[in-house]
Amino acid sequence: MTKEPSLSDQLRALLPEPTDELTAALDKVAQLEHEHSTTVEQARIERAFLERAPREGLLYPGDALKLGDFRPDEDLDKVFTQLRATRPYLFDKASSPANQKLAEHDPDSLRRALKHGSLTRQVQEIRRRRPRP
């Protein structure tokens, strides 16, 4: 696979005698080409990360992207393993939502909350019925 010459290289080849102004302009074009290629590579990495994030159970992929600096040579398996170890709050729990709901409170605390709520309603009803002086 042959590497195609960049636009700045092609322009340099076309100029018979580059002046200082043309050299500065060509340097600026070369800098813009480098920034563009870096941005495209970073977008490719982020796209691969965002496509895999739902399968890994990542709740906040945007936050994870902001928190981490991902390099092109880094394996995504390693990235997600490292994120799980350092920032577990970004990931969904392993159990189902129904099991989480059942595991949150013990039955006694739920009964006390129900009793307290019903007592409050009874007190409100008594106060509402009592005539005010």
Q: How many CB atoms lie within 10 A of CB 30?
A: 16
pTM above 0.85, yes or no: no
Give the pLDDT of residue 8: 79
What pLDDT, in 10s, does the model give residues 75-110? 888 888 888 888 888 887 765 566 556 556 667 776
Give the pLDDT of residue 35: 92
The DSSP result for 41-72, as a single string, is HHHHHHHHHHHHHHHHTBS-HHHHHHH----T
